[in-house]
Amino acid sequence: MTHCEFLIGKGIFHGFKITGHVGFDVKGKDVVCAAISAVSQSTLIGLNEVMKVDLNYEIKDGLIRCDLKDNNECAQFMMKTLYQTLVQISKQYPRNVSISEVEV
């Protein structure tokens, strides 16, 4: 199972951490895993390389983590879009994907 944790304080996204393996299919054929990887890495690229938002991130096998240092409006829109996308994926694959919010 993949767990998607969002760090939120007073309605503001401060980061996210996505851990685990989806397990919907074998590695290399898992479309759910591919979808989660694509949207989360796209969010990181948008924040880091396109918008130049100040952040820390880490990507390795079974982990994508992002901690925002700059919470501008555009960064919030990106984070909210990622959150809503992953919520929709978790509704379609509840045995494979979970979402949680951590108050910071």
pLDDT value at residue 71: 80
pLDDT: is 40 or 70 the higher one?
40
Q: Count of CB atoms within 10 A of residue 54's CB?
A: 13
Short-list 1, 46, 50, CA closest to 23: 1
pLDDT, one tens digit per residue, over 23-60 is 887 888 889 999 999 999 999 999 999 999 999 999 99
Would you say residue 69 has pLDDT above 90?
yes
Residue-number span of the structural domain to which 28 is assigned: 2-103
Q: How high is the mean pLDDT of the chain?
A: 94
Q: At 15, which CATH number?
A: 3.30.70.1490
- Provide CB contacts within 8 A for 54, sequence distance 6+: 68, 69, 70
- Provide CB contacts within 8 A for 59, sequence distance 6+: 41, 44, 65
pLDDT value at residue 23: 83
Residue 70: strand, helix, or coil? coil
Would you say residue 86 has pLDDT above 90?
yes
Determine contact, residues 87/98, Cβ cutoff 8 Å.
no
